[in-house]
Amino acid sequence: MNANNSVSRRYKDFLQLRAALVAHFPGAFIPPLPQKKVGKGRFADGFIATRMRGLQHFMEEVLKSPDFESLNYVIAFWEHSDVREWVSLATLASE
């Protein structure tokens, strides 16, 4: 994995990644995502910082797993800015 690469992801992208992992590895422990807050306060600095830490923790846990870290769609999620690329790889993996 390229540690110097930077990509932007929305919360829904993490939801999709987690769903792909759950589909690909039924019964395996998939780290939880932080809560999604809707409505008032969802853009508060404290909430955003907490969620960012939670998403970072999710990715660290995924990348620690030998089962997950080498999956082409996990690598694409981490390294490629085009969301469509990792989504299409995840879709192929679950077929």
Q: What is the pLDDT of residues 3-27, one digit of tens each?
A: 556 778 889 999 999 999 999 999 9
pTM of the model: 0.81
Q: What is the pLDDT of residues 49-89, one digit of tens each?
A: 888 899 999 999 999 999 998 899 998 888 888 888 888 88
DSSP code at position 44: -
- Extract the tokens encoding 54: 């939670």
pLDDT of the residue at 42: 62
Residues 13 and 83 sit within 8 Å (Cβ to Cβ): yes
